[in-house]
Amino acid sequence: MVELSLREGLMSKGRDAFIAQLHEEAPLFRDPDGFWVASRFEDVRMILLDHKRFSSSAMGNVSSATLQSSGRAFAFPLLTDDPPRHSVLRALLAKAFTPAAMEAMQPYVEELARDLTAAIPRGKEIDVVAAITSPLPVAVIARMMGVPGEHAAEFRRWSNAVADIQSGPIAPERIKAVMELRGYFARVSAERRASPGDDLISAMTRVRETSEALSDDQIVAFCILLMVAGNETTTNLLGNLLNRLARAPEGWAALKGDPGLIEAAIEESLRVDSPAQNVIRRATEDVEIAGTRIAAGELVIIYLASANRDPAKWDDPAHFELKRIRERHVAFGHGVHTCIGAPLARLEAKAAMTALVGRFAELRRGAERGQRLGGGLLYGFRSLPLVFA
């Protein structure tokens, strides 16, 4: 019997062991903190497809204890909207993520990845988070939002502060950084309203003229959403993958021998070390799942990381296996809220891995293990010392 809460279980048993125990003993788990945890792949998929009976809107006003249990500090627009409003906001953003838009970004992303890789010293221990996994996505999202180059350093500092708040204690200097960030985006959106460009923030100010208008506060929250969703998850994907490869050097050699395996490595990393561990929904009516009744109004934490390790779907699910037959995972979610930035994340990860594998023959662990992020939502590294040679 699982007797601990999700938070206690993860802390005391460790993630791998607690996920395995959930699958074995309580795939639909009633957390003593007052919510459900769904961990089976098929249940997760079913809930995420059923946005009528499992609403995202309640994420906006869940209790702070539940926000903390799931690792959240903010409630964002779009993520916390249901159709039809969700559809309108999503359509607005979708224009920035079309295949044509991704193709247009590709040369910039690849050049950036090559430049960051060229600056990595051979044979010397470096923190890969500072050297490549964080600067790459931050620069890319800054460009998409039309943040000018001279603000890039501040943008990175703010972005890190927002991520820290999501995944660690809320310290005064982090709050200050978030206030600065809010002020910055409020100024930028006022400027873009006066003289619009073809960037995302200008596009958001244009919605103000329609019936689904976004308030100033919502535009700022939207900008912060893109920063968090766009940066930290991709940073974590790359860090988790490099960590796995450094701990099993035959993986690096395999990628070197056949760079065509890079995409498989990225998907396997997303599956086994899902960067966004969970999403939340609230039941809008009584629902029965596998014989268990979830009452209207109750919250469900959809445990993506656990669904991606369902033993009914993958053999030896906690094992990172480069040549595993690829099955669809839910690291980017499922249904109407499926990650809109997934093609961009994949593009960035592939560009970084192609540049690194092309330049370096070997990847080794550093002397230290590195520092994992805290909190239950984001899974990745705050710092990760590795050696490229």
Query: Measured from the CB of residue 322, what is the shortest distance to ligand HEM in angstroms?
Result: 18
The torsion defined by the Cα of 47, 66, 77 and 372, in degrees rounded to 10, comes to: -90
Query: Measured from the CB of residue 14, what is the shortest distance to ligand HEM in angstroms?
Result: 21
Query: Measured from the CB of residue 33, what is the shortest distance to ligand HEM in angstroms?
Result: 20
Query: Measured from the CB of residue 139, what is the shortest distance to ligand HEM in angstroms?
Result: 12
Query: Measured from the CB of residue 153, what is the shortest distance to ligand HEM in angstroms?
Result: 20
Query: Which of these, 165, 121, 160, 172, lies nearest to 366 by C-alpha position?
Result: 121
Secondary structure of residue 369 in the 3-state scheme: coil
Enumerate binding residues for ligand HEM (CB under 6 A). Answer: 56, 78-79, 90, 93, 141, 225-226, 229-230, 233-234, 237, 275-276, 279, 304, 331-333, 337, 339-341, 344-345
- The DSSP call for residue 378 is B
Query: Is the Cβ of residue 237 or residue 352 nearer to ligand HEM in the bound state?
Result: 237
Query: Is the Cβ of residue 125 or residue 199 nearer to ligand HEM in the bound state?
Result: 199
Cα angle vertex 254, ends 250, 257, to 5°? 135
Query: Is the Cβ of residue 2 or residue 308 nearer to ligand HEM in the bound state?
Result: 308
Peptide bond into 32 cis (omega under 30): no
Listing DSSP states for 212-259 in one string gives TPPPHHHHHHHHHHHHIIIIIHHHHHHHHHHHHHHHSTHHHHHHHH-G
Query: Is the Cβ of residue 161 or residue 377 nearer to ligand HEM in the bound state?
Result: 377
Query: Is the Cβ of residue 2 or residue 188 nearer to ligand HEM in the bound state?
Result: 188
Rounded CA gap, 19 and 83, in Å? 32
**CB-based closest residue to ligand HEM:** 341
CB-based contact 254:245 (threshold 8 Å): no
Query: Is the Cβ of residue 57 or residue 68 nearer to ligand HEM in the bound state?
Result: 57
Query: Measured from the CB of residue 58, what is the shortest distance to ligand HEM in angstroms?
Result: 11
Q: Which residues pair with 282 in a beta bridge?
A: 55, 299
